[in-house]
Homo-oligomer: A and B are copies of this chain.
């Protein structure tokens, strides 16, 4: 297995050498923020928006990395270049930045932070076959955090509730993807992706109060505008999803992933929908990569 080059606390090292101290608050109390972008044909996609979101998270939790926005951008681009020799076998990379608080007895006097940027081959096997089959969604009992405890707009590593949600969902359908709800029963997000549905020709998704402000989600808004498909933010409930004509997830790696079944109910006719397909096609065109083809090829499906 390839040992990619990573950036860790100011140095370029093999990723296998990146290790976290059990005393770092990043591990000990989940005191980490992060972001993840991906490449298309080795070129970063919307890296600026990802780094921007990372700095919003950092500001919220008051960690000072010591790196300027531009330095973080530069590292995040350089790491792609440095690992380009290994890209062919991976297809494309995810590029992840994380920043921990560092060690200390209290949050406000801990440090220094650990800063890491690393690439990984995109995990096409996890999702490739759902472009044609459609993924299944299940809405678990476990809820998203409320804003008052931990704002879901912060991209952090304290995600135990997401883990519990995945376990519950696997009890119902081991292949299903969680679709979480907030304390009032409104659909929020998946465990790393946003949730969309289409009805009456309109794309609908939750407002960004209780969810991560997805960059892929923003791309869906852009593409919808380009394709002249109306798109709105609304409070949505399971009823809406069950009775939608189409549904899909958006996420950094899969971009757009069709959803054809939710809580054992077929969405629409149970097949990936036409608007979902249009979005995938438009996205592929924009990035110059056949998103579905690449995923299926690298997942060994074609």
Contacts and interface: CB of A to CB of B under 8 A. Distances in A.
A22 B157 CA distance: 11
B166 A108 contact: yes
A185 B235 contact: no
A183 to B, nearest CB: 6
Given A28-B157, A149-B183, A242-B59, A107 B143 contact: no
A174 B108 contact: yes
Contact of A167 (B30, B108, B147, B235): B108
A78 to B, nearest CB: 19
A167 B101 CA distance: 12
Interface residues on A, range: 35 or more
A10 interface: no
Q: Number of copies of this chain in the oligomer?
A: 6
Interface string A140-169: 111111111111011011111111101110
A297 interface: no
A67 interface: no
A114 to B, nearest CB: 9
A101 B157 CA distance: 14
Contacts of A140: 141
A141 B142 CA distance: 8
A71 B59 CA distance: 44
B20 A27 contact: yes
* Max chain B Cβ within 10 angstroms of own Cβ: one of A105, A145, A158: A158
Nearest to A20: B20
Interface in A107-161: 107-108, 116, 118, 123, 126, 139-151, 153-154, 156-161
B159 A29 contact: yes
Interface string A235-276: 101110011000000000000000000011100000000000
8 contacts: A18-B22, A56-B242, A59-B242, A60-B242, A61-B163, A150-B160, A171-B172, A207-B235
Minimum-distance CB pairs A-B, first 5? A19-B19, A158-B158, A158-B160, A107-B166, A108-B170
Interface of A: 18-22, 25-32, 56, 59-62, 98, 101, 105-108, 116, 118, 123, 126, 139-151, 153-154, 156-164, 166-168, 170-172, 174, 183-186, 207, 209, 234-235, 237-239, 242-243, 263-265
Given A28-B157, A31-B160, A186-B209, 13 more contacts: A25-B163, A26-B27, A30-B163, A56-B239, A59-B243, A60-B239, A62-B264, A108-B174, A141-B141, A147-B237, A158-B160, A171-B263, A209-B235
